[in-house]
Structures are given as structure tokens and as C-alpha cells.
Amino acid sequence: MNLLQGITAILSKDLQIELRSRYAINTVLAFVGASLLLVLFALNAERLPKSAQSALVWIIILFAALSSLSRSFVMETDKRTFDLLRLHSRAIDVFLGKLCFNYLFTLSVNCVTFITYIFLLGISIADNSAFLLVLTVGTAGLSGVATMLGAIVSQADRKGAIFSVLSIPLLFPLILILVQLTKVALIEDFSQHYLNDFWALVGYTGTTITAGILLFDYIWEE
């Protein structure tokens, strides 16, 4: 089995499980919906400056991700199928397959969240292409961190608490960059100054995914 076939097999398995149960997607969408209504009515978010509006939506996405993205690895441990994966798959196939699943899952949730947020608050986007680029790359960074930490905590007790504690410090710089770039995309076109922030986002994403691959090889052998 080559790399692409291995990744596709893991991705297909996780998609089928999620589509069958719909546990994670229903939980996350319920959380996002409640959070958006709270932000809209309690904080009068439509009157806030663009920087605050950008921060609020990424904070909602962050905590929605913390509630679900570790599940793909934790589920393997809870169902005692992790050892079965070791017998039939390579480490790189498993990690990248679950990374692709987390990316598709998170991107779907993020698109729904942003579309609803923009509609409810009546926000206009100044630079659509930059906004979409930030959304896709930022989602990859979020998924990379979540997949890496999900693999680490899957072998530990009290997985949910450990995942949250480890995730927030690692995701804090990512959220800061995303808030800044999202604010810029909402109010003006990207300039050379903000391209530096974008390349920082790309570098962060690449580093976390690479670190996840290297660390997962060690976890796989334990």
C-alpha cells in the first residue's frame, strides 16, 4: 500500500465513523450556535471594532476545536483499535490520514461559523481572496496542532483535560496571528507589512505538522 492509499484508507474510515454517528459535528455546531447567539445578543458584537470581532470568532472556533479535535485518536484508544492500526498501517499513513480528517472537519465547521457570523453581524469583507487564504491556512495550523496533541494524549488518562491544557499555549500565537490577519482582510487589502504575518502563519503551520509527524513516529513505537 503506497502513501496515498494509506492516507485515503484512514481518512475514509474516520469519515464513515463520523457520518454514521455525527456526534462530533452535532456537538461542535451546537456549541458554535450557542456561542454566536451569546456574542450577538449579550456583547452587541455588531457594534464592536473589527479587531474585537475578529478575536471573538477565532476564540469561538478555538474552543469548538478543543471540544472535538482530539477525538479521532482518543476514539482509537477507547475502542481498543490502536493496536490494530499498528498491524495494518504505517505511522505516516495514520497521522496524515487523521490530519486530513481533522482538516476537513475543522474547515467545514469554520466555514459554517464564519458565514453565520458575517451574516448575523452584517460584516463586509474588504479582501475576499486574502480572507479565504487566511481561513484555509489557519485551519491547517489548527488541525496540525490538534492532531499532534491528540496523538500524544490518546495514551494518557484524563485525555480531555490534558489536551486542553497543552493546546492553549501552543495555539495562542496562532490565534494572535489569525486575529490580526482576519482584521486586515475585513477592513483593507493586504500590504507588504501584513505579508510578513501571513508567512509567519505558513511557517507555524508547517512547523507544527512536521513536528507532529516526527513525534508520532515515537508514539507509534511505544
**What is the band of 176 on the pLDDT scale with cuts at 50, 70, 90?**
very high
Lowest-pLDDT choice from 31-40, 78-87, 103-112: 78-87
**139 contact partners, CB below 8 Å, separation of at least 6:** 103, 106, 107, 110
Instruction: Dump pLDDT digits (tens) for 146-161.
Output: 888 888 877 666 666 6
What is the DSSP code string of the chain?
Answer: --HHHHHHHHHHHHHHHHHHH-HHHHHHHHHHHHHHHHHHHHS-GGGS-HHHHHHHHHHHHHHHHHTTTTHHHHHHHHTT-HHHHHHHS-HHHHHHHHHHHHHHHHHHHHHHHHHHHHHHHT---S-HHHHHHHHHHHHHHHHHHHHHHHHHHTTSSSHHHHHHHHHHHHHHHHHHHHHHHHHHHHHS---HHHHHHHHHHHHHHHHHHHHHHHHHHHHHH-
Rounded to the nearest angstrom, the gap between the alpha carbon of residue 70 and the centroid of all alpha carbons in its chain is 10
* Contact criterion met (CB below 8 Å) for 139 and 58: no
Cell of 65: 476545536
What is the mean predicted confidence (pLDDT) over 4-33? 84
Whole-structure pTM value = 0.89
**Mean pLDDT score of the chain:** 83
pLDDT at 206: 94
Q: How far apart are CA 39 and CA 46, in angstroms?
A: 9
* Percent of the chain's residues with pLDDT above 70: 91
Lowest-pLDDT choice from 20-29, 64-73, 114-123, 153-162: 153-162
Pick the more confident residue, 165 or 60: 60
**What is the band of 6 on the pLDDT scale with cuts at 50, 70, 90?**
confident
pLDDT at 192: 63
